[in-house]
Amino acid sequence: MSKVVKFGGSSLADASQFKKVYDIVMADRQRKYVVPSAPGKRFKDDIKVTDLLYKAYDAKSESEFQRTFEEIRQRYQDIIDGLGLQISLEEEFAIIEKNFEKQIGVDYAASRGEYLNGILLAHYLEFDFIDAKDVIFIDEYGNYDKKKTDSVLSQRLLESEYAVIPGFYGSLNDGSGQIKAFSRGGSDVTGSIVAKNGKVDLYENWTDVSGFLVADPRIVKEPAVIETITYKELRELSYMGASVLHENSVFPVRNEGIPINIKNTNKPEDPGTLIVESTCHKPAHVITGIAGTKGFATVMIEKDMMNSEIGFGRKVLQVFEDHHLSFEHMPSGIDTMTIIVNTEEFIDKEQDILAGIHRAVQPDSIILESDLALIAVVGRGMKASRGTAARIFNALAKRNINIKMIDQGSSELNIIIGVRNCYFNDAIKAIYNEFID
Ligand code: ASP
């Protein structure tokens, strides 16, 4: 058995966190490939090294650049001193400084956080260092080039029994050798690509929480941890705002059947959350998780005899498509059709869209409201149990919360309800208490 272990920024924020990482990696010789992020926040108002690098690269004056660059240098020096390592990054910093002066690219700048952390960690663990620029190839849009990466990386990993591969970046797939980064949080994606190409059995993603929580801890006090979740459930919850992993990080491992285990660097004994393709493990509760987002608008279109007008729906949706706006849901009645959209994306285009709908289908009226929050109640356990919807509605009714919209996906994996923004927190608490407490 072998594993890839990815450590997030908070797990490598300073020397004491590095020590924890060392203990975790050394405790299990199956942990063969280590993917580090750049040093993250050491305390609440601290600045991540990646953000300092962006700041230095965009510095408006030489003095601002020097100050910020020095701060970055000091972050690494503190780690070196704190661990008593016999290594100097001075030569690396000299090269980086020159490249910053030449303004060789913002992705290059951002990637140096992971690069330097990778060098330090490899030295500390006595693992090989593999520069991600030589083995991970990314297209101009920030997607990994599967073909090129998979052939180069899988070969390279065969040569190292134990190695550190920095997260977040690679090089452009056009052969120029230019550094290219994934979007923010992209070390999760690197971990997944390394797991796939190292043909490992498990991808451990170490962070500062003991797994994926059933609900947002800012809304529900100390929510339970999800023990096992499927990729599909995770996607539903992530789409609705729950975030632990970068959304592109599941695809490489998902297709290989490699599970991801979310673990807590500060509490390594906690089992964390296991993310799997499919499982016979009975979920602990009927629902796996609850997530939601505020800020949706509803466009309610009314027209007598709408039901008999063939093509009505298509014409309405065409208007949204013409304005490059995707819609979230589309509940309908006999003579009404409602389109639910993200308010922020909709607001600048609303009058054009209204005019477009009038032209396309001549409705009797169009009513706009922008006060909707959507909540997704997700769980593979719903399929096998009766009365889940009844329990949700009951819980909300008891709290006097009016439901404005209901949508159950045909997969029976989720029930989505819409409530007014002001009921958002209460609704999530009510559903949580109904199923989990
Ligand atoms: N350091 C990068 C960021 O802050 C990438 C990562 O941590 O995954 O977004």
The pLDDT assigned to 256 comes to: 93
* Count of CB atoms situated within 10 Å of the CB of 219: 16
Q: Which CATH code, of 1.10.3720.10, 3.30.2130.10, 3.40.50.2000, 3.30.300.30, is assigned to 289-435?
A: 3.30.2130.10
Report the nearest atom of ligand 1 relative to the CA of 182: 5
**Distance of CA 337 from the midpoint of ligand 1 (Å):** 42
What single-letter amino acid sits at 212? F
Q: Which CATH architecture has domain 3-208?
A: 3-Layer(aba) Sandwich (3.40)
CB 373 within 8 A of CB 418: yes
Tokens 């959209």 correspond to: 341
Residues in the chain: 437
Pocket of ligand 1 (CB under 6 A): 9, 37-38, 48, 50, 113, 167-168, 184-187
pLDDT at 25: 98
Strands 163-164 and 128-129, by their bridges, are parallel
Mean model confidence pLDDT for the chain: 95
Q: Would you state the pLDDT for residue 185?
A: 95
The type of residue at 336 is T
Q: In the chain, which segments carry CATH 3.40.1160.10?
A: 3-208
**Would you place residue 383 in the very low, low, confident or very high pLDDT band (cuts 50, 70, 90)?**
confident
Nearest CA-CA partner of 54 in 158, 166, 146, 184: 184
Q: How far is the CA of 292 from the centre of ligand 1 (A)?
A: 24
- Residue 165 Cα, ligand 1 centroid: separation in angstroms? 14
Mean pLDDT value of segment 272-292: 90
Mean pLDDT of 228-240: 89
Q: For residue 184, which atom of ligand 1 is closest to its CA?
A: 9
Band of the pLDDT at 56, cuts 50, 70, 90?
very high
Mean pLDDT of 73-100: 97
Q: What helix, strand, coil percent values describe the chain, rounded to 5?
A: 40, 20, 35
Distance from residue 363's CA to the centre of ligand 1 (Å): 48
Cα 285 to middle of ligand 1, angstroms: 33
Nearest CA to ligand 1 atom 6: 185
* Residue 225 DSSP code: B
Residue whose CB lies within 8 A of the most ligand 1 atoms, among 50, 144, 165, 179, for a mutation test: 50
Please tell me what DSSP assigns to residue 9: G
Residues of the chain with CATH 3.30.2130.10: 289-435
The pTM (predicted TM-score) of the whole model is 0.88
